[in-house]
Chains A and B, each alone.
Chain A
Amino acid sequence: MEIDPFIFRLSIFILSIFVGYYVVWSVTPSLHTPLMSVTNAISSVIIVGAIIAGLAGNSDSIFNTSSIFGFIAIALAAINIFGGFLVTQRMLAMYKKKKKDK
């Protein structure tokens, strides 16, 4: 009997939850805000689904209901990707160590 591919995806999912659990506990509390903004950015990898949806229309009709939803989703996810990574970058650039002046 063959294993359903769903089980493999489920395994990846469960293991990733554990990876996430341990990785996030090691995040220093002072970086919790950048953590939220960067998780925001990376969860927008949902854009891959939006791209598939957007390209689904055939050459005669680029715009059908399904692909229009895809296009809008692309724009929404793009706001998040650029906004999320850039604002994280901006925040992280501010974290500085004490100048060693002694």
Chain B
Amino acid sequence: MLSANLSAIFYLISGVLFILALRGLSSPETSRQGNYFGILGMIIAITVTFLSIGNFSTGFVVILIFLLIGGLIGAFIAYKIPMTAMPELVAGFHSLVGLAAVFVAISAFLNPDAFNLGSPGNIKLGSLIEMSIGAAVGAITFSGSIIAFLKLQGIMSGSPITFKGQHPLNAIILVLIVVNIYLLCTTQSSNLFWILLAISFLIGFLLIIPIGGADMPVVISMLNSYSGWAAAGIGFTLENTALIITGALVGSSGAILSYIMCKGMNRSFFNVILGGFGATDQTNSTQNKEQKPVKSGNADDAAFLMKNASSVIIVPGYGMAVAQAQHALREMVDTLKKNDIKVSYAIHPVAGRMPGHMNVLLAEANVPYDEVFELEEINNDFANADVAFVIGANDVTNPVAKTDPQSPIYGMPVLDVEKCKSVLFVKRSLSPGYAGIDNDLFYKENTLMLFADAKKMTEDITKNL
């Protein structure tokens, strides 16, 4: 049996290894090594836990069985999941972290002796506070992630679900949670504990339903953050350094990602969380602009334009993921490169449904990561490029964000696509994007609309090159 001090040191080591795992992600070269650090940290933490309890009886075997079942399911999912389904996968995984936190809190509440927290009905006050916070945040993470998962998977409509009195209701529930935790800590009543869990599940659900599909990058990052805080809460209860460190890391990581995503849309965090974006403006903007002339072309025209270009910038968006067009796109680019045309990719921070979504899809299609650039890195190059090929993106290219202070997306950083000599816009129809506003780019002199499925159009262009 390991002494408490020695195990604490090992937990600290695994916490440090987790820090190194995140540190590795500062560049693709070091990232793989970073992931091994993470795995090593996890192995240490689990082994130390077994050794410090020192109980290798039947219970140990049962645990190994559950560990193995979970592990097999996890490994199976990890190998089977298509890269386009990454946002759903991450949302699903968040819900599991949340639920695990809830379950650990429940068992600690039912059997505090096992955790050295006192006895049932007489749990140490500090532990009870930490436990109930961990459980509440865990429950919110769980139900919130389930809704995010259903929306991303398309089982539930991606459009915001709003009703009258939504915000006051949420506020009342949040106050109830705080009151409930207070009462729970003073009375130690197990009924209150169950009520706390129930209303936390409810609020997680209510918080996410009003948030629309394209705001999912913020939601996923936010839930990522919550799952960290839940873990940290439980870490305090268990007095476990590895869990506290990890919880803090994950919590701040998710918070930073949410911030980056909000900035990418020029919206405040509260604006996103309060939800309902796009639902209000959809009606007034589309009608009066229908009459403007639009130039549309076919794959042949597009191929002609690109063949005569010396540099092409590709702007992918969520539509590329939906059409699974990333491989077709890479083949098109290969053909372009054979003709000595310089090609680079421009990625907007909120392109796709989660942070870094486009980068993963391009990497999957074997696009070298040093051809892929972020908004700030590449935005000046549009003026010197011959062709911008917009595939599945819309709002992130809309020049209105720079020119019209009335527009709901005014101030949002956008890719300066219109500065290119010509713009090819692959899209199914002229319908407005998520923000519900018309894209001025469609009607520009130098824009050629290619109305088709992204994948099919890209393949046709390749044939014509």
A interface vs B, CB < 8 Å? 5-6, 9, 12-14, 16-21, 23-57, 59, 62, 64-67, 69-99
Contacts and interface: CB of A to CB of B under 8 A. Distances in A.
Nearest to A54: B63
A71 B81 CA distance: 26
Contacts of A45: 14, 18, 41-42, 45, 231, 242-243, 246
Contacts, number: 378
Interface in B353-385: 354-357, 359-360, 363-364, 366, 368-372, 374
B60 interface: yes
The A contact surface, by secondary structure, is helix
B114 interface: yes
Nearest to B83: A91
A16 B110 contact: no
B100 interface: yes
Interface in B221-266: 221, 224, 227-228, 231-232, 234-254, 256-257, 260
A69 B135 CA distance: 13
B220 interface: yes
Given A35-B25, A53-B111, A69 B103 contact: yes
Contacts of A93: 32
A13 B355 contact: no
Given A49-B243, A69-B107, A87-B78, A24 B252 contact: yes
Interface string B83-110: 1001001100110110111011011101
A82 B70 contact: yes
A72 B103 contact: yes
Contacts of A85: 35, 38-39, 42, 78
Interface of B: 11, 14-15, 18-19, 21-23, 25-28, 31-32, 34-35, 38-39, 41-42, 45-46, 49-50, 53, 55, 57-60, 62-63, 66-75, 77-79, 81, 83, 86, 89-90, 93-94, 96-97, 99-101, 103-104, 106-108, 110-111, 113-115, 126, 220-221, 224, 227-228, 231-232, 234-254, 256-257, 260, 347, 349, 354-357, 359-360, 363-364, 366, 368-372, 374
Contacts of B67: 74-75, 78
Contacts of B18: 42, 45
Contacts of B89: 37, 83, 87
Nearest to B114: A56
Given A12-B244, A79-B74, A90-B78, A73 B38 contact: no
A38 B14 contact: no
Nearest to B112: A66
B63 A33 contact: no
B39 to A, nearest CB: 5
Given A13-B244, A82-B71, A95 B104 contact: no
B66 A54 contact: yes
B359 A41 contact: no
Contact of B249 (A39, A57, A73): A39
Nearest to B43: A81
A57 B221 CA distance: 37
A49 B104 contact: yes
16 contacts: A13-B244, A18-B252, A27-B25, A29-B356, A32-B355, A35-B257, A36-B90, A36-B224, A40-B227, A43-B227, A48-B45, A49-B243, A55-B60, A72-B103, A73-B107, A98-B371
B236 A13 contact: yes
B199 to A, nearest CB: 20
A55 to B, nearest CB: 5
B104 A73 contact: yes
A14 B369 CA distance: 35
A80 B58 contact: no
